[in-house]
Chain A
Amino acid sequence: MRVRTWIEGWPVVRQLTDGDPLGRGAAAKSKHSAHLDPRTASADKVVKSVCPFCAVGCGQNVYVKNDKVVHIEGDPDSPVSRGRLCPRGSSTLQLTTGSSREYRVLYRRPHGTDWEQLPLDQAMNMIADRMIKTRREGWQWEVDGKRTRRTTGFASLGGATLDNEENYLIKKLFTALGAVQIENQARI
């Protein structure tokens, strides 16, 4: 039975039986080609998204399979982009899943010459401690006799690549801590 299947499947035989005597088409089709499964079709779900590069705001469809992003391409429904993406937008899969991404917290101690690893929670605690300390050191109740109620001990830069919700929390938290030097790319 197997031999027969094998022989019938042999493209040379198929050349004779399948109407492709020159062996350039149907007869030469391989198993792989017969069972192509594009990941846009086989994805478990398609998640609606927005391109993270520039501010045009092109729509993206994010294809997910087995809890992994397997492909990202333009969302044809978008009135902004009509499914199209530029080279940067087209590289979003590589941006989000590529090998250049770091997934570990890295720490460089003062005067250190290389990175060390640090557990995330420990890093968060260390950062919180430093913020409290620096904030206090740079605290100014008054400047030139006028109430300022602020700290100039720490600053932040960034936000143009972040979500509105993230910017909101950053501004809210840092302002409540008395920081004024909160800036982002919009100024640059």
Chain B
Amino acid sequence: MAPVDITIGRRPSLDGALLGDTDPATQGGYPDHPPRMGFFTDTSVCIGCKACEVACKEWNAIPEDGLLFTGMSMDNSQGLGADTWRHVAFIEQRKPIAAQDPGVAHEGVDVTPLARQGSGTAAGQAAVTPTTPGDAGEFRWLMASDVCKHCTHAACLDVCPTGSLFRTEFGTVVVQEDICNGCGYCIPACPYGVIDQREGDGRAWKCTLCYDRLSVGQEPACAKSCPTNSIQFGPLDELRERADARLARLHEAGVIDARLYGRDPHDGVGGDGAFFLLLDEPEVYGLPPDPVVTTRDLPSMAKHVAAAAATLIGGALAAFAVGRWVS
């Protein structure tokens, strides 16, 4: 038996294990790894065709996710889950993109009372496809393809007790179907509501960023299908550069609402491996405005747990100390 090698030098630094800008593949024990790969989803050119949803399902053989007419504009898949790994959101708004002339005219109707919380109204309670209130004659239809963010600091991966969720050499986060025992911990841990349990199967499923395809140098199925290049795949560094240039160009062109989401390596999850260019606040698309990886607070939690445990011991000691008088 070879001597167990626990050389310190091969260990990644524990700095940045839970927060901050870091290289997750190195953190994951891949000293020589390919560049970190990711998605940049530019929603400003998304046409909402849903090719990504179907291509993803075809490649990964994901089950059908229910036949439900939702009334949520053209979105009948509702969100990411165990059986939907790419999800195209549709939002109808009384807002201009920039100088587009949308042609619609609804001067006579006030949509505000119809859509109480704007686009945030549940479709079943609305009198109209929920619309963000705004000026009459303004209109835009936002579409955005959502996906697992492959966080730099991934809560799902951190809390997984079996090692089913693991960091790949590409810096992505993948669930291993031969390992997952369906404990379900990753599901509420994800700040984006991405991963979920498959009914009848019991295991947790989510986007793998087509780990199998990446391993032979092929791009993920969704990015490959995307007709308008809204979903761009590549080394994360390149994507970030491209996204910055794109944002600057859009701002210059008057698309003032444009913003990057998940691009910042100093945000609550250390930046996303799959980040987005959005045209409105993240929550409009169903994304959390300021997600934080829950394990960022783990050291503090541990301290509180320890203090509570000590308190319990103290309580027990005290109980026995006073026990002889109270019986």
Contacts and interface: CB of A to CB of B under 8 A. Distances in A.
A33 B97 CA distance: 44
Interface string B1-27: 100111000111010010000001101
A17 B177 contact: no
Given A18-B29, A19-B11, A89 B51 contact: yes
Interface stretch (A79-87, A151-159, A172-180): A79-87
Q: Tell me the interface secondary structure of chain B in the complex.
A: loop
A32 B178 contact: yes
Report the interface size class on chain B: 35 or more
A25 B216 contact: no
B55 A33 contact: no
A74 B31 CA distance: 35
B96 interface: no
B218 A41 contact: yes
B166 interface: yes
Contacts of A28: 163-166, 176, 179
Contacts of A21: 11-12, 14
B174 A86 contact: no
A29 B216 contact: no
B49 A25 contact: no
Contacts of A19: 10-12, 29, 31
Given A32-B177, A33-B211, A25 B167 contact: yes
Interface string A75-109: 01000000111111111011000000000000000
Contact of B29 (A25, A38, A86, A94): A25
A83 B30 CA distance: 32
B166 A25 contact: yes
Interface string B146-161: 0000000000011000
Contacts of A86: 49, 51, 225, 227
B210 to A, nearest CB: 8
Interface string A1-41: 00010000001010011111111111111111100111011
A13 B3 CA distance: 12
Nearest to A13: B4
B46 to A, nearest CB: 13
A26 B11 CA distance: 12
A72 B54 CA distance: 12
Given A17-B5, A84-B224, A86-B51, 10 more contacts: A21-B11, A25-B167, A27-B163, A33-B211, A36-B212, A73-B58, A87-B53, A88-B54, A90-B58, A93-B58
7 closest Cβ contacts across the A-B interface? A25-B28, A20-B29, A28-B163, A26-B29, A32-B178, A25-B167, A28-B166
27 contacts: A4-B1, A13-B4, A17-B4, A19-B11, A21-B11, A22-B14, A24-B166, A25-B25, A25-B30, A26-B29, A29-B166, A30-B163, A30-B164, A30-B179, A32-B176, A32-B177, A33-B168, A36-B212, A38-B210, A38-B213, A38-B215, A73-B55, A74-B224, A76-B224, A84-B224, A87-B51, A88-B54
Interface of B: 1, 4-6, 10-12, 14, 17, 24-25, 27-31, 49-51, 53-55, 58-59, 157-158, 163-169, 174, 176-179, 210-213, 215-216, 218, 221, 224-227
Interface of A: 4, 11, 13, 16-33, 36-38, 40-41, 71-74, 76, 83-91, 93-94
